Amino acid sequence: MSKSGDPQLGFRFRVVYADGRQEQITVDSERALIGSASHCELRLPPEIAAHEHVEVFAHEGNVQFATRPYALLALPVLDGVATVEGRWAGGSSLRIGNVQMTVEIVSLGMAKAKPPLWALFIAIPAIAITAVGVALARPVERGLPPIPEAPVLVGAKDAKCPDVSAEQRPVLAAEKLRIALAKRERSPFAPQDGIEAIGLFEVSAACFRVAGQAQQATDADEAANLLRTKLDEDYRLRRVRLEHAYRTHQTNAAKRELVVLIPMTAHRRGPYTEWLAFLDRAVNAELDQRGKLQP
């Protein structure tokens, strides 16, 4: 985290398009997103890149990249090799579709604490939200409104097999398992499907158990536990990233996490999800304003 008075690092991308056109883009953040969405720092045409294609970040003085789940069917190519994630060395060329690019870490001088417009826009509504949940609110640096306590993503395990006849229990268990597996496959693109899959796995396990099929029950329980752990870890990591972006006034970084956290927490209405909605509207307003100012 860069504080006021610390050196501010960023990236300089050099991009070469198929028609020979070239451009240089400097990003004033230690994380950057490449994709076709409006909140990406390096935007590519939608016919070439996914909504969010590759995330680039600095780690111990090196540039690292990771392919986003939306782009796993069209992996970026690093020096001629299709790669999911790894180190992006200086001089190495990363290709997405027919666009080639190189990157380097650059020093942008000293970090400043001046907030952008979106940090100011959310002050009034955020204060109103935290008046509801003030007992749970955490203090925030630099005089920004506090962030409400985040809710638990997935509730406690409390699944029961529906009241069906004995011969229907294994059939119902197998059907719930089938739906859970399908939703789990979609969960990297739709987190809400992953949350629903956990409940379906647990219902399946309960039905297998009352049907006397202990091994199938254990397998379904293990699938639910693994998915719960994975989603909870992703939820925690995204909250940490969003809070860092909020406190350090990084508009694009905040938007990257909001596009996942908002649908992920849609089933947990309360002060935190209202804060996310206010923050998203303010960030969108800031991004729209920047777009209008660009030539």
Digit-by-digit pLDDT tens for the chain (295 residues) are 444 445 577 899 999 999 999 999 888 888 888 988 877 888 888 888 888 899 998 888 889 998 887 676 788 999 999 998 899 998 899 999 999 999 999 886 654 445 555 555 554 444 444 433 333 334 334 456 678 899 999 888 888 999 999 999 999 999 999 999 999 998 888 888 999 999 999 999 999 999 999 999 999 999 999 999 999 999 998 998 898 888 877 888 888 899 889 999 988 889 999 999 888 888 888 777 766 555 4
Q: CA-CA-CA-CA torsion for 189, 1, 283, 274, nearest 10 degrees?
A: 70
Chain CA centroid to CA 112, Å: 26
Measured on CA atoms in the order 236, 149, 190, 156, is the torsion positive or negative? positive
pLDDT of residue 135: 30
Give the domain ranges of the chain: 7-110, 113-295
Options 3.30.70.980, 2.60.200.20, 1.20.210.10, 1.10.3720.10; CATH of 7-110: 2.60.200.20
Which pLDDT belongs to residue 285?
A: 81
For residue 46, the tally of other CB atoms under 10 A from its CB is 11
Which pLDDT score, from 0 to 100, does residue 131 have?
39
Q: What share of the chain is helix, strand, coil (3-state, %, to 5)?
A: 45, 20, 35
Q: Which two tokens stand for residue 86?
A: 């790894």
Residue in 259, 101, 239 with CA at minimum distance from that of residue 189:
259
Q: Are strands 42-43 and 31-35 parallel, antiparallel or unpaired?
A: parallel
Q: Please give the Cα distance from 65 to 55 (Å, whole number).
A: 6
Are 126 and 293 in contact by the 8 Å Cβ rule? The answer is no
Supply the pLDDT for residue 245: 83
* Backbone region of residue 12 per phi and psi (left: phi > 0; alpha: psi in -120 to 50; beta: other values): beta
- Distance CA(11)–CA(99), nearest Å, equals 18
Q: How far apart are CA 275 and CA 251, in angstroms?
A: 15
Exposed e or buried b per residue across 130-141, where buried means at least 16 C-beta atoms within 10 angstroms of its C-beta: beebeebbeeee
Describe the strand order of the beta sheet including 22-27 as a list of residue ranges: 22-27, 7-16, 99-110, 94-96, 77-78, 81-82
Indicate the burial class of 295 (C-beta count within 10 angstroms; 0-12, 13-18, 19 or more). exposed
